[in-house]
Amino acid sequence: MIQGRDFLRAFEFLSGMDDEVGARTQTSRAYYAAYLETRTHCENHFEYLRHGGGREHTDVQRLIASQDSEVADNLAFLRRLRNIADYDLNIRPSTITEQAAESGKLAKSIIAHLDELASVSTNDAYDQ
């Protein structure tokens, strides 16, 4: 079954486009990699139930903030970068390229941090 982190493969593949469209799409894939991993984390650790729609993104961000504010803040920033990449066509291509690079780093950082949180939660469950 596909996981959110699998979208990072698309992020890497798109770097080969080496143009503004590739960079904009990289940012989008990075956000969705991190968002989907965060949503899965919330489902597994907070019994979060999906309800669909755009509000779900904010709900997931709020829920993860109760466990780790840094992940929530990074996810919110990554979502802003994704919105810029998807909707603001007046941004300089060099800025879009910089944002794509930053979005990849952020997504990887968020996913690594979620893995750590899940590991701690699993270890806590075994200790009880």
| pLDDT tens per residue across span 6-23 | 999 999 999 999 999 999
62-77 pLDDT, tens per residue?
Answer: 999 999 999 999 999 9
pLDDT above 90: residue 52: no
Element (H, E) at 119: helix 93-127
**Residues belonging to the chain:** 128
Q: Which residues contact 78 (CB under 8 A, 6 or more apart)?
A: 30, 31, 34, 35, 103, 106, 107, 110
pLDDT of residue 53: 84
Domains, in order of start, for the chain:
4-118 (1.20.120)
**What mean pLDDT is predicted for residues 75-95?**
97
